Chain A
Amino acid sequence: MFDKKFLEDLRRQQAEWEKNLGKDIECYGERRKEFSSSSGIPSKSLYTPLDLEDEKIDYLRDIGFPGQYPFTRGIHPNMYRREPFTFRIYTGFGTPRETNQRVKYLLKLGVNDVQLAADLPTQIGYDSDHIMARGEVGKVGVAIDSLRDMEMIFDGVPLNSFKRVSTLFNSLGPIALSLFMALGEKQGLDIKDYVVDLQNDVIKEYVCRGTYIFPMEAGVRLCTDVVRFCAENARNWYPTTICSNHLNAAGAGSTAATAFAIANGIVYIRNILKQGMPIDRFAPLLCMFLDEREDFFITIANLRATRRLWARIMKEQFGAKDPNSMALKITSYSHGGETLRELLNNSVRIAYAALGYVLGGVQFLYNASFDEAVSLASEEAVRVAVRTQQILAHELGMTNTVDPMGGSYYIETLTHQIERRMREILEKVESLGGGLEAIRKGYYQSVIGEGASLRQKRFEERDMVSVGVNVYRTEEEDPEPLFRINQQSEEEQVKNLQALRRERNSREVQSALSVVKRVAKSEENLVPAIFSAVKAYTTVGEISDALREVFGEHKEAVSYL
């Protein structure tokens, strides 16, 4: 990238400077033995054009222009000058009626991308009156037993009030999709009038997060049925978002987590190709959810490296021709470093995390709320979260130029190193037989387990600092939550569910369920059958039980090692 003579000159002068640096370190030492984060990529004292040269980075080949292959600098030529990232909030608790109030509040604040948090019974396919649902109804999200609950959650809020509406039943993607389609119909909307986004990434649930239901192959089929259905019927929707977030949080570190997520994406892609759909028909609908929690600059470089690697894999490995198949849309969640102590400090952490994602070129930006370390978000805290997104989008000049960090010696070197490390991990996964086999052989789990132990050790040794917790700690008591879930929600939800069972046409429900079972046994796409069942007010639990009958259930290998 640079003139040969200039590089020789630079190399000579830099060697001189390094002698000075050596003396400085000898004399004053360094604060830490190693400067690196859980990403596994170390930081040096200084980066110069020599690093770009040594990494053999070529501007046109590796960095290029935004909106063009390999999309390192962003997926649109004019990025946020055209439109800022979305203001996204993850919300839901208690009964649908309670969540409806929160959804209306978010809309008033200017949230334009809302993701419904469903409670755990819903995500795992148990109705609110199931014994396994006891104690969990409405706790980490809103209870959704049937279409009737969706109607209440969005009562007075047409789905096109937001740029996107979303949820994440990762084991039950076709039900989530059907609930939104059926609700759209009820609200008189055409599929083209609103946009649904689904996380619908089940593979990671088997190694972290834990909302698996069916054996892995059946889980993958349900995910890809959703993608194939949307590719044919709702091309402006987002049928799956392949996640590194939970893998990183569990302990993998962001680089390995992203590589695993890409490997999981490849499992879905191969599955869809095998069913005869060409790559450019569905790849433009795929997104990723990326995450880094410890290092601001790694955050930026991780997004850039992942976009480049994804583009290259789509083009080189899968032969994609459509640039939209190669341009990776990214979701990120500003959270991870929050502490229970001194909750307000979390606003600062969330703002910096968000800034990192914005500088990395994120499309869909979630912010956590400062009190989520102790409870679900209060209205006050969620307002700060939304305002943080809006301040970043409009007040600070962050969005005035495309990829302002591009060309930084440090960022470009990190981007290159992360891409290379991710490729190595992907090769390892391939050598084990691909994502599902690597999981069966315990590879993901061992990386996650080792990473989690190392992270805890670094925290306890104060190598990983958490201000107010393991340094600068005061003696004040932990805070009380600003928000509490109504303990009567479970009872109310069960009562409503039982009323629904009395009022609906049970013959229609039974026949819809037998169609679901028949289609589950075949190779047909399950979405139409599940859509019919959902429209007949069949419950999430009933549809899940029908699928359990056909597919069986995943058995976790119980181990803490």
Chain B
Amino acid sequence: MKEKIRILISKVGLDGHDVGAKLVARALRDAGMEVVYAGLRRTPEEVVKIAIQEDVDGIGISILSGAHMIFFSLILKLLAEKNASDIILFGGGVIPVRDIKELKHLGVRELFTAGTTTSQIVEFVKKEVGKGRGEKG
């Protein structure tokens, strides 16, 4: 792999529970990736702007407030509008199975719920980003 994987981790909406987002950010960093952490209360518009500015390979979004359908859909739409759909979108939170299926159908690559290990997330990111780079290169 030619360069380090860059991932944006952010909260979206008003939910302030950031334990999970920070844990994932630390785990990705410890696995050798570059992490851009955007913190709390970001709008989908801000997230997409930062992702493009920072030229990240992927965006990881944490939502525990139940607002996941609207925010993930909006981020996907904005990425498409900016021709940035090569940036992979994944997330985690309190998200029911039915919603996970629907969001994955829309284009979210993976959604992690309680009980996931950080190594599962690290492996997932490596694999998905690797796939994307393979296609491009």
Q: What is the 8 Å Cβ interface bit string for chain B, positions 13-43, against chain A (1 contact, 0 not)? A: 1111111011101100000000101111101
CB closest residue in chain A, given B27:
A456
Q: What is the 8 Å Cβ interface bit string for chain A, positions 498-528, against chain B (1 contact, 0 not)? A: 0000000000000000000000000000000
State which of A140, A373, A456, A459 has its C-beta within 8 Å of the C-beta of B66: A140
Residue A49 lies at the interface, judged by CB distance under 8 Å to chain B = no
Interface residues of A, CB < 8 Å — how many? 49
CB closest residue in chain A, given B11:
A210
Would B43 and A132 count as touching, CB distance under 8 A? yes
Residue B70 lies at the interface, judged by CB distance under 8 Å to chain A = yes
Closest chain-A Cβ to B92's Cβ sits at a distance in Å of 12
Closest chain-B Cβ to A522's Cβ sits at a distance in Å of 30
Would B115 and A339 count as touching, CB distance under 8 A? yes
Would A556 and B96 count as touching, CB distance under 8 A? no
Would B41 and A132 count as touching, CB distance under 8 A? yes
Contacts A341-B115, A373-B114 hold; do A210 and B18 have CB atoms under 8 A apart? yes
Would B114 and A480 count as touching, CB distance under 8 A? no
Would B14 and A559 count as touching, CB distance under 8 A? no
Would A134 and B18 count as touching, CB distance under 8 A? no
Closest chain-A Cβ to B53's Cβ sits at a distance in Å of 15
Would A373 and B94 count as touching, CB distance under 8 A? yes
What residues of B have a CB within 8 angstroms of the CB of A485 in the complex?
66
State which of A134, A209, A456 has its C-beta within 8 Å of the C-beta of B16: A209
Q: What is the 8 Å Cβ interface bit string for chain A, positions 414-450, against chain B (1 contact, 0 not)? A: 0000000000000000000000000000000000010
Would B35 and A560 count as touching, CB distance under 8 A? yes
A251 to B39 CA separation, bound complex (whole angstroms): 17
What residues of A have a CB within 8 angstroms of the CB of B39 in the complex?
556, 558-559
Residue A494 lies at the interface, judged by CB distance under 8 Å to chain B = no
A209 to B18 CA separation, bound complex (whole angstroms): 8
What residues of B have a CB within 8 angstroms of the CB of A124 in the complex?
14
CB closest residue in chain A, given B71:
A135
Of the listed residues B26, B40, B41, B66, the one surrounded by the most CB atoms of chain A closer than 10 A to its CB is B66
Would A456 and B37 count as touching, CB distance under 8 A? no
Would A374 and B16 count as touching, CB distance under 8 A? no
Residue A136 lies at the interface, judged by CB distance under 8 Å to chain B = yes
Would B114 and A560 count as touching, CB distance under 8 A? no
Would A560 and B37 count as touching, CB distance under 8 A? yes
What residues of A have a CB within 8 angstroms of the CB of B61 in the complex?
none
Which secondary structure characterizes the binding site on chain A?
loop
Residue B9 lies at the interface, judged by CB distance under 8 Å to chain A = yes
CB closest residue in chain B, given A490:
B70
A453 to B30 CA separation, bound complex (whole angstroms): 12
What residues of B have a CB within 8 angstroms of the CB of A460 in the complex?
117-119
A251 to B22 CA separation, bound complex (whole angstroms): 11
What residues of A have a CB within 8 angstroms of the CB of B71 in the complex?
135
What residues of B have a CB within 8 angstroms of the CB of A135 in the complex?
13, 67, 70-71
Residue B85 lies at the interface, judged by CB distance under 8 Å to chain A = no
A133 to B71 CA separation, bound complex (whole angstroms): 12
Would B22 and A139 count as touching, CB distance under 8 A? no
Would A481 and B96 count as touching, CB distance under 8 A? yes
Would A374 and B94 count as touching, CB distance under 8 A? yes
State which of B18, B70, B96 has its C-beta within 8 Å of the C-beta of A374: B96
What residues of A have a CB within 8 angstroms of the CB of B96 in the complex?
374-375, 478, 480-481
A197 to B113 CA separation, bound complex (whole angstroms): 33
A413 to B38 CA separation, bound complex (whole angstroms): 44
What residues of B have a CB within 8 angstroms of the CB of A558 in the complex?
37-39
Contacts A134-B70, A460-B119 hold; do A249 and B19 have CB atoms under 8 A apart? yes
Q: Which chain A residues (461-516) contact chain B, with CB distance < 8 Å?
A: 466, 469-470, 477-481, 485
Would A469 and B67 count as touching, CB distance under 8 A? no
Would B17 and A452 count as touching, CB distance under 8 A? no
Contacts A136-B67, A140-B65, A209-B17 hold; do A559 and B115 have CB atoms under 8 A apart? no
Would B14 and A560 count as touching, CB distance under 8 A? no
Contacts A480-B96, A481-B96 hold; do A559 and B66 have CB atoms under 8 A apart? no
Would B9 and A560 count as touching, CB distance under 8 A? yes
Would B14 and A470 count as touching, CB distance under 8 A? no
Closest chain-B Cβ to A293's Cβ sits at a distance in Å of 13
Q: Which chain B residues (66-82) contact chain A, with CB distance < 8 Å?
A: 66-67, 70-71
Would A375 and B43 count as touching, CB distance under 8 A? no
Would A556 and B114 count as touching, CB distance under 8 A? no
What residues of A have a CB within 8 angstroms of the CB of B25 in the complex?
560
Q: Which chain A residues (185-213) contact chain B, with CB distance < 8 Å?
A: 205, 208-212
Residue A265 lies at the interface, judged by CB distance under 8 Å to chain B = no
Would A340 and B43 count as touching, CB distance under 8 A? no
Residue A396 lies at the interface, judged by CB distance under 8 Å to chain B = no
Residue A144 lies at the interface, judged by CB distance under 8 Å to chain B = no
State which of B15, B23, B98 has its C-beta within 8 Å of the C-beta of A140: B15
State which of B16, B22, B94, B97 has its C-beta within 8 Å of the C-beta of A560: B22
State which of A210, A249, A479 has its C-beta within 8 Å of the C-beta of B40: A210
What residues of B have a CB within 8 angstroms of the CB of A251 in the complex?
19
A369 to B97 CA separation, bound complex (whole angstroms): 19
What residues of B have a CB within 8 angstroms of the CB of A205 in the complex?
16
Q: Top 9 nearest A-B pairs by Cβ distance? A: A210-B16, A120-B14, A558-B39, A560-B25, A135-B70, A135-B67, A139-B66, A560-B37, A560-B22
What residues make up the interface of A, taking CB atoms closer than 8 Å to B? 120-121, 123-124, 126, 131-136, 139-140, 205, 208-212, 249-251, 339-341, 373-376, 449, 452-453, 456, 459-460, 466, 469-470, 477-481, 485, 556, 558-561
What residues make up the interface of B, taking CB atoms closer than 8 Å to A? 9, 13-19, 21-23, 25-26, 35, 37-41, 43, 65-67, 70-71, 94, 96-98, 113-115, 117-119
Could you list some 22 contacts between A and B, CB below 8 A?
A131-B43, A135-B13, A136-B13, A136-B15, A136-B65, A139-B67, A205-B16, A210-B16, A210-B17, A251-B19, A375-B96, A452-B22, A453-B26, A460-B118, A469-B114, A478-B97, A480-B98, A556-B39, A556-B40, A558-B38, A559-B37, A560-B21
